[in-house]
Amino acid sequence: MASAPWRCPTCRRPLERPDPTRWTCRSAHSFDVARGGYVNLLPTGRQPGRSPGDSAEMVAARRRFLATGAYDPLTSTVRAAARYHADGGAGETILDVGCGEGRHTRALPFPLVLGVDVSKPAVAVAARAHREGWYAVANAAALPLAEGVADAAVNVFGPVFADELGRVVRRGGILVTAHPGPDHLAQLRELVYDDPRPHELKPPLRHAEGCFEIFSSEPLRWEMHLGEPAALLDLFAMTPYRWHGPPDIASRLATTPDAAVVTADVRVTCYRRR
């Protein structure tokens, strides 16, 4: 298996792995490999006091919910888009930016799969579940990778930094994004907000005309039949809505009748690097 092409977050020089326990650069910066196999490449001294990204509780909720298969149509669609364009000559290396716990990452059909996320608990889970991939705790706005190293990239509901993606995706490479459509999780939003409104559909790279051009954008919609209130609670806990819910939201969700139906409405947009 080819090694990950990580760059040092401090000096930007290539990282090498002299032994299984660490990554080092020629400037003598060293980064330990965690027991789960991932490496933390957040710049030293720049991390906020609170651990960034999703908490361990959010990651556990997402893992339980995704294990039900409720988001499998999205995983399959992203995989198919990446595989189709890979077969068209997209190359060897794919990067999942904002990989989370790795459910979508593990499905990507490339010889070299890289996953990065700012959440250490998420990356730890992803790395343990996918020994064939390479995972790093890293900031999507300052990826620890060289220019043009990725033949393809995916971004599923993650933060998008167009300039940084344009830097690491090679010319002619592809980017597959998934972002919410107007009715995404509409029934959940009705439980959280007093005045729920549809999502405003915004292309994730709408200010990146100099780097990327859209070559396809398709809606993906399905109904998720959640068998018990626990699944609805997990869905709520893994989304940003958890920060805005009313004090009694947990009890309201727990008393929702079994077999709740929640709409998934996603736009899958594919770009090519100019």
We report the CATH number of the domain holding residue 207 as: 3.40.50.150
Could you identify the residue written with the tokens 């490449």? Answer: 41
Assess if residue 180 is contained within a domain. Answer: yes
Assess if residue 7 is contained within a domain. Answer: no
Assess if residue 140 is contained within a domain. Answer: yes
pLDDT band at 250 (very low <50, low <70, confident <90, very high): confident
Range of the domain at 74: 16-273
Per-residue pLDDT at 27 exceeds 60: yes
Where is pLDDT greater, at 116 or 227?
A: 116
What is the mean pLDDT of the segment spanning 223-238?
Answer: 90
Residue environment code for 49-65, b if the CB has 16+ CB neighbours within 10 A, otherwise e: eeeebbbeebbbbbbbb
What is the mean pLDDT of the segment spanning 225-244?
Answer: 88
Q: pLDDT at position 86, please? A: 56
Identify the CA nearest to 114 among candidates 269, 5, 17.
5
Assess if residue 231 is contained within a domain. Answer: yes
Assess if residue 1 is contained within a domain. Answer: no
For the entire predicted model, the pTM comes to 0.93
pLDDT band at 88 (very low <50, low <70, confident <90, very high): low
Per-residue pLDDT at 225 exceeds 60: yes
Strand 22-24 vs strand 169-180: parallel, antiparallel, or unpaired?
unpaired
Per residue in 235-247, pLDDT tens? Answer: 999 998 888 778 8
What is the mean pLDDT of the segment spanning 6-33?
Answer: 97
Q: pLDDT at position 49, please? A: 53
Q: pLDDT at position 178, please? A: 96
What is the mean pLDDT of the segment spanning 150-171?
Answer: 94
Assess if residue 218 is contained within a domain. Answer: yes
Per-residue pLDDT at 168 exceeds 90: yes
User: What's the CA gap between 1 and 248, in Å, rounded?
Assistant: 50
Distances (CA, A) of 158 to 117, 140, 170, 261, 272: 9, 9, 20, 24, 18
User: What's the CA gap between 134 and 15, in Å, rounded?
Assistant: 13
Per residue in 198-222, pLDDT tens? Answer: 988 887 887 777 899 999 999 999 9
Assess if residue 258 is contained within a domain. Answer: yes
For the chain, what is the domain count?
1
Q: pLDDT at position 209, please? A: 73
Assess if residue 6 is contained within a domain. Answer: no
Q: pLDDT at position 244, please? A: 77
